[in-house]
Structure 1
Amino acid sequence: MRPRTVLAALAAGLAAVVSPTAAGPAHANLLTEHACSATVSLDRFSDALDKTTYDGTFVGNLSALAVDRDGSLAALADRSSLFRLDPRTLAPEGAVRLADERGADLDSEALVIDHDGTRLIGSETEPSVRRYSRDGRILGRLPVPDPLRVAPAGRATANQTFEGLTLLPGGRTLLAAMEDAISGDSAGTVRLQTWRRTGHGPFRLAAQYAYRADDGLGVSEVQATPDGRLLVLERGFTPGVGNTVRLYLADPRHATDTSGIPYLTGQPGVRPVRKAPLADIADCPSLGATARQPQPNPLLDNIEGMTVTGRDGRGRLRVLLVSDDNQNPAQTTRLYFLRVRV
């Protein structure tokens, strides 16, 4: 099936889920506009996966989403599991364990499904981007610039490396987003690393860009739009207050290539990736959501994953978000169904 047809089928399937279990309160449905901002609306949310298991595996810790070639939804857990979800019911239909070359678990945070069905998995342990087959076999590993490696091998901080991964239109450029700044760069200046390939050849290191996150926030996910721009999720957490999650539209096409610039502190002439706000998720209607810990809006949780599932009849992107519950009883695995005008 062609990718466009797959996306259309998935979007139709997701739109058809109207059961109370999947959709929350009855008024949280696709037929009503629930504005988060002038450009973003929330159709509904689903807690259907919260604190569930599949074939003995905990279904949670979800950090990334992707549309698979067969129209199913892939959901990546940061504890080395990749789930296949039914696009209509969100019910798990399969699970694959992932591991590194020694058989050890990954801190798997980012996911892309390539044109041939290969899974590209970003881990923030080293960090790394590995290629896997559908059944979880390692097929290869992409090079990573030394400065982006975790100290002492590089200048990155543990658990603050590759959080987002996306394939740009055309399928030749892969982009990974660091969660936070590396040592020697200005606070909040996040590096976006790209790889390019020719034809069906391997990905090779390519340009790198600087992205400036809001104060106190890091990048938790990136997703390419059909025109080559990026949806960027920025996220932070304040104990006793809760999560901050903001959605931006970013354009790397005129940014400076920073791959040859060792330190991004007070560097004149460096053009960062331009960004424009789309929505603060705290401004979305709560739609009856509840939270198990303090939140500015009970709808909020630790949102980490995002994918574009298609377009609606008005040309808006259908965007699906997921929160990582960290297998914590005070947090929730929640899926958010957005429409975004870009």
Structure 2
Amino acid sequence: MRLRTVLATLTAGLAAATSLTAAGPADANSASSKACSPSVSIDRFSDALDKTTYDGTFVGNFSALAVDGDGSLAALEDRSSLFDLDPRTLQPRRAVHLADEKGADLDSEGLVMDGDGTRLITSETEPSVRRYSADGRILDRLPVPSSLLVAPAGRATANQTFEGLTLLPGGHTLLASMEDAISGDSAGIVRFQTWRRHKDHFRLGAQYAYRTDTGLGVPEVQATPDGRLLVLERGFTPGVGNTVRLYLADPRHATDTSGIENLTGQPDVRLIKKTLLTDIATCPSLGATAKQPQPNPLLDNIEGMTITGRDHTGRLKVLLVSDDNQNPAQTTRFYYLRVRV
């Protein structure tokens, strides 16, 4: 979702991306000075792509990141373009335009680079999940439960639907996260929908419920190698700035809510358990500057996330990106984290 300032498969990818690093000199600061929390540290950030263009296309509005099987970095913008970025310099090498079946642009939000070279991409408009070829041709469209469709077709609110998308280890289960609650569910209870792979197609699978912190939504979710999830929660307060928190969540013992119409007053429903890893506001600013008020000048409208590998201690290397909404008061910024789970 585009938060405006006015209101404001994994295994293959991890193996191929272990060497994915950012360009630039090594930071001389000690590891302790880069700690955001006992579980998370930040190595560096990059504003290299802020307010730039590539082959006539604006570079920004990023809503998702993914690592391909060959180690290359893909960045999805929510205005219907998919960029191939150099994994070291972040410089664009290719841009592919995406469209729906009628040729219209997508509100493209979630991204998975599948092991067969196809791209799974969500659009927040309906919402939808489509499979695309590397050159942008539609290959398939996945079924979506009627309750998750935008009203009046369903019970979802416009621009509050499929934001996150991830493929669980093994490549057999796809998971999409709604950004906010649907009508009839308690405030802050967000549905996570899964699909199971069947030959060349995905069929609807189990659904789970996740509770966000008050006032926050879910812009991104990424599977860890052991089947848990990294979940971003985000919000914006005019005059104050962004709140962005990173959680570790475990859906493996949660109730399948696909057959439960309303998640209000349901004491027997087991929600996805979550553990706070860090609030990004607690990270050292590393000299970052902000174009609008922020609790920490490092912060912006962080919306995309991918796991790029592991370091020598076993920590996950996690790359975040902010969506600048093509707005002069916001910044396209990449964040390089190390996360112990």
TM value normalised by structure 1: 0.94
- Counterparts in 2 of 1:56-67, with a 5 A limit? 56-67=56-67
- Counterparts in 2 of 1:208-219, with a 5 A limit? 208-219=207-218
Q: Deviation at 1:206?
A: 0.7
Aligned to 2:46: 46
Do 1:7 and 1:310's aligned partners in 2 also have CA atoms closer than 8 Å? yes
Aligned to 1:95: 95
Q: Deviation at 1:68?
A: 1.1
SS in 2 for 1:234: strand
Distance 1:6 1:193, change over 3 A: closer
The one-character-per-residue Cα deviations of 1:200-232 (angstroms, maximum 9, x if unpaired) are 331100100000000000001000000000000
Q: Does 1:153 align with 2:153?
A: yes
SS in 1 for 2:261: coil
Gap regions ≥5 residues in structure 2? 1-8
Aligned to 2:188: 188
Q: Distance in 2 between matches of 1:141 and 1:33?
A: 46
Do 1:27 and 1:287's aligned partners in 2 also have CA atoms closer than 8 Å? no
Q: Does 1:165 align with 2:172?
A: no
Q: Deviation at 1:12?
A: 2.1
Do 2:11 and 2:225's aligned partners in 1 also have CA atoms closer than 8 Å? no
SS in 2 for 1:203: strand
SS in 2 for 1:181: coil
Aligned to 1:80: 80
Q: Distance in 2 between matches of 1:132 and 1:269?
A: 39
SS in 2 for 1:14: coil
Aligned to 1:12: 19
Do 1:110 and 1:163's aligned partners in 2 also have CA atoms closer than 8 Å? yes
- Opposite residue 12 of structure 1, the aligned amino acid is S
The one-character-per-residue Cα deviations of 1:82-134 (angstroms, maximum 9, x if unpaired) are 00000111110000000000000000000001110100001100000000000
Distance 1:88 1:272, change over 3 A: same
Q: Distance in 2 between matches of 1:6 and 1:196?
A: 19
Do 2:10 and 2:168's aligned partners in 1 also have CA atoms closer than 8 Å? no
Q: Distance in 1 between matches of 2:249 and 2:227?
A: 9
- Opposite residue 223 of structure 1, the aligned amino acid is Q
Q: Deviation at 1:309?
A: 0.3
Q: Does 1:268 align with 2:275?
A: no
Aligned to 1:294: 293
Q: Distance in 1 between matches of 2:118 and 2:53?
A: 25
SS in 1 for 2:192: strand
Gap regions ≥5 residues in structure 1? 20-25
Distance 1:294 1:49, change over 3 A: same
Q: Distance in 2 between matches of 1:98 and 1:285?
A: 37
Aligned to 1:335: 334
Do 2:246 and 2:279's aligned partners in 1 also have CA atoms closer than 8 Å? yes
Q: Does 1:236 align with 2:235?
A: yes
Aligned to 2:6: none
Aligned to 2:3: none
SS in 2 for 1:205: strand
Q: Deviation at 1:275?
A: 0.3
Do 1:28 and 1:287's aligned partners in 2 also have CA atoms closer than 8 Å? no
Do 1:28 and 1:45's aligned partners in 2 also have CA atoms closer than 8 Å? no
Q: Distance in 1 between matches of 2:163 and 2:20?
A: 28
Q: How many residues align?
A: 333
Distance 1:221 1:36, change over 3 A: same
Q: Distance in 2 between matches of 1:293 and 1:167?
A: 35
- Opposite residue 18 of structure 1, the aligned amino acid is G
Greater RCO, CA 8 A, separation 6+: 2
Q: Distance in 1 between matches of 2:301 and 2:11?
A: 30
Q: Distance in 1 between matches of 2:277 and 2:239?
A: 26
Q: Deviation at 1:240?
A: 0.2
- Opposite residue 24 of structure 2, the aligned amino acid is V
SS in 1 for 2:201: coil
- Opposite residue 312 of structure 1, the aligned amino acid is D
Percent of pairs identical after alignment? 79
Do 2:211 and 2:271's aligned partners in 1 also have CA atoms closer than 8 Å? yes
- Structure 1 window deviating more from structure 2 (133-142 vs 67-76): it is 67-76
Q: Distance in 1 between matches of 2:36 and 2:243?
A: 14
The one-character-per-residue Cα deviations of 1:243-280 (angstroms, maximum 9, x if unpaired) are 00000000000000000000000112000000000000
Q: Distance in 1 between matches of 2:148 and 2:336?
A: 33
Aligned to 1:206: 205
Aligned to 1:285: 284
TM value normalised by structure 2: 0.95
Aligned to 1:23: none
Q: Deviation at 1:4?
A: 5.8
Do 2:216 and 2:233's aligned partners in 1 also have CA atoms closer than 8 Å? yes
Distance 1:8 1:257, change over 3 A: closer
Do 1:235 and 1:245's aligned partners in 2 also have CA atoms closer than 8 Å? yes
- Counterparts in 2 of 1:297-316, with a 5 A limit? 297-316=296-315
